[in-house]
Amino acid sequence: MMITCKEASRLLSQSMDARLPLWQRVRLRLHLAICDACTNFSRQLRLLRRALRRLAD
């Protein structure tokens, strides 16, 4: 059931473009609940996305 950090980073990237299926969202959330590195990566992705949106405006 647990995913690797590599798969978590792939899912985080995919989730920026489209909504993940429920089972993938659950697996990702479980991983993020125990992995500080992937949680930080998720925050960094969101920060970059917001910065790029502001830059585009």
* Count of Cβ atoms closer than 10 Å to residue 23 Cβ: 9
Give the per-residue pLDDT at 22: 97
pLDDT digit string (tens) for 2-47?
A: 899 999 999 999 999 999 999 999 999 999 999 999 999 999 999 9
Give the per-residue pLDDT at 57: 80
Write the CA distances from 52 to 2, 13, 29, 45, integer angstroms. 32, 15, 25, 11
Residue 50 has pLDDT above 80, yes or no: yes
Domain that holds residue 9: 5-56
Number of domains in the chain: 1
Give the per-residue pLDDT at 56: 83
Give the per-residue pLDDT at 11: 97
Residue 1 has pLDDT above 80, yes or no: no
